[in-house]
Structure 1
Amino acid sequence: MENNLLPAEKQRVSEARKVTWIGFFVNLVLSVGKILAGFWGRSSAMIADGVHSLSDFVTDLIVIIFIGISSKGKDENHQYGHGKFETFATMIISFALFIVAFGILWNGCVTVYESFHGKAIGRPSAIALWAALISIVVKEGLYWYTVIVGRRIDSPAVIANGWHHRSDALSSIGTLIGISGAMFLGDKWHILDPLASIVVSVFIFGVAYKLALPSIQELLEESLPAEVEKRIGELVMNVPGVKAFHHLRTRKNGHVFIIDIHIKVDKNISIVEAHDIATQVEQTMRRTFGDQTQTNVHVEPYYPKDGF
């Protein structure tokens, strides 16, 4: 399957999988460590934090599977390629974050409710505190590494996975604050531990929303941003032989731009010349927006009286 990919696309897939596998094994160690620290350290916030890290396994696997599929070229059933698979993976990651956030919110609310009805909340111990500190440092570092790679290879799914790491770091910051307060401010403040998990869930909801919105917009075939379409128009009009253009339609397929456009050329030139102009338009789009940009050009004769 991947033998048919362009060299640049093979490199992109390789880098995406490398950074995701690294995240996968880091999450393995952190998840087990945080859940154990939560049980041993009597911290509901740390257990919730560990479950959050555990959810990263699912998203890592999604990226590893879908990034290879999305890089496939056209086939009989996918005439525009498989880029939407990566967009779909991003949406799944965002939905996973929504589920994780809701689970943490629910658990925290139940614990707070029970505490107001007489159930004692245990004082967390130092092991939970140290687990939170280690998690913050490791997951923030993993966030920057993943996002930098994702931006370099222009992979929404990898960037989304990086934000999943960041959400875990935010979760651990809230956990750290809650555990610290519960440990050092006395018995009345043990409730800070579950309250911290509630605050963290709100942050995670926000991250999930930021990831979900653009992926849903792309799956619903939303046009490229207005500034990009303006740039396309400028580039087309700079191609020698193009008199005018209209019916510009755009969309994204993963990281690939798809552009449909009608251009008007001198009605007296030959079919060969008109075809060459259309080819120059296609090449201009690929040079500007990437080798995999798909441009469909319809050529029409130019009549000044048409107003085009």
Structure 2
Amino acid sequence: MTNEQKAIKAMYFSIIGNTCLAFIKGLAGFFGNSYALIADAIESTTDILGSFLVLFGIKYANKPADENHPYGHGRAEPLITFLVVGFLITSATIIAYESILNIQHPHDLPKPWTLIVLSAIIIWKEFSFQKVMKRGKETNSSALKADAWHHRSDAITSIAAFLGILIALVMGKGYESADDWAALFAAAFILYNSYKIFRPALGEIMDENLNEDLIEEIRNKSREVEGIIATEKCFIRKAGMQYHVDLHAIVDAKITVKEGHDLAHKLKDRLQTEIPELGNVLIHIEPD
């Protein structure tokens, strides 16, 4: 199974899971008199839209290179991630606004059975986070990792809702707003999580150097190629699920131009074979 297929399969898992959970949370929040659960349902609804965006981004980012896009379409992934962050910020703002209104106007206590619903949701969302994050790491997809963090943020907001409802039920009359304070906390966490998702995507767009481990691996693999004495400059930029590399390789100054050319191709083939996530590899030969 290719990286693209793994990523798409993970996205369908997210979309189906979030759709079911949004429906369950919405019903439980409405009939269980819990705004924290309704806030959770709102976040899950935005997660569905975000997951569809990520799915589109992954498919578009993996289109092959063409005349207008010689390095491929990988940069579509972080751009889609920015849109996902926009959805998260919007949902957090709506949740915070409604929470503040509800705090000012006390309502009835939540129903005890909502705690059972939330317990199941927390377990499922943490499982979803682990599953999607594993795929994100396997495929080097920033958008897939962003979607995984949606699941983790959903789990934490559900924990906040659980605690808010529990406090309201245990403390009784006068503590009805604990449920709403939990929703407000959830909104703050969503905003914080939005920054955590946004920051690496911005680094990808700006070609920020965040790949020291990969650079070291490339240098080590290069020195294993007969005829390559050492490496000098090594620049990496990430685009979608691939890394494009500019590498300066040091060779014997006395070899012919053709021998240097053949060595460059040999090195490029070796790197792309042993490090499959590499896309375009440009080798510049330097004399020793």
TM-score, normalised by the number of residues in structure 1: 0.84
Given that 2:139 and 2:241 are in contact with CA atoms closer than 8 Å, whether structure 1 keeps it comes out as no
What CA distance in whole angstroms lies between the structure 2 residues aligned with 1:260 and 1:126?
Answer: 60
Given that 1:34 and 1:128 are in contact with CA atoms closer than 8 Å, whether structure 2 keeps it comes out as no
Q: Is 159-168 or 20-29 further displaced after alignment?
A: 20-29
2:84 to 85, 93, 118: 93
Given that 1:282 and 1:297 are in contact with CA atoms closer than 8 Å, whether structure 2 keeps it comes out as yes
Q: Deviations over 1:105-162 (max 9, x none)?
A: 23223332x2xxxx33221123433332232122222222222232233322222212
Structure 1 runs, 4 residues or longer, greater than 6 Å off: none
What CA distance in whole angstroms lies between the structure 1 residues aligned with 2:169 and 2:230?
Answer: 71
SS at match of 2:54: helix
In the TM superposition, what are the counterparts of 1:157-196 in structure 2 within 5 Å? 157-196=143-182
Which residue of structure 2 aligns with residue 69 of structure 1? 60
Deviation at 1:81, TM superposition (A): 1.1
Deviation at 1:83, TM superposition (A): 1.6
**Aligned amino acid, residue 168 of structure 2:** A
SS at match of 1:189: coil
Deviation at 1:277, TM superposition (A): 1.0
In the TM superposition, what are the counterparts of 1:199-238 in structure 2 within 5 Å? 199-238=185-224
Deviation at 1:194, TM superposition (A): 0.7
What CA distance in whole angstroms lies between the structure 2 residues aligned with 1:15 and 1:57?
Answer: 19
Which residue of structure 2 aligns with residue 78 of structure 1? 69
TM-score, normalised by the number of residues in structure 2: 0.90
**Aligned amino acid, residue 38 of structure 1:** G
Deviation at 1:168, TM superposition (A): 0.9
Which residue of structure 2 aligns with residue 294 of structure 1? 280
What CA distance in whole angstroms lies between the structure 2 residues aligned with 1:300 and 1:161?
Answer: 43
Which residue of structure 1 aligns with residue 121 of structure 2? 135
What CA distance in whole angstroms lies between the structure 1 residues aligned with 2:115 and 2:229?
Answer: 68
Q: Does 1:53 align with 2:44?
A: yes
Deviation at 1:52, TM superposition (A): 0.7
SS at match of 1:241: coil
Q: Identity of paired residues, percent?
A: 29
What CA distance in whole angstroms lies between the structure 1 residues aligned with 2:191 and 2:259?
Answer: 55
Q: Is 31-40 or 234-243 further displaced after alignment?
A: 234-243
SS at match of 2:234: strand
Q: Does 1:239 align with 2:230?
A: no
Q: CA RMSD in A?
A: 2.2
Given that 1:285 and 1:293 are in contact with CA atoms closer than 8 Å, whether structure 2 keeps it comes out as no
Question: Which 5+ residue runs of structure 1 have no aligned equivalent?
Answer: 1-7, 303-308
Indicate the structure (1 or 2) with the bigger Cα radius of gyration.
1
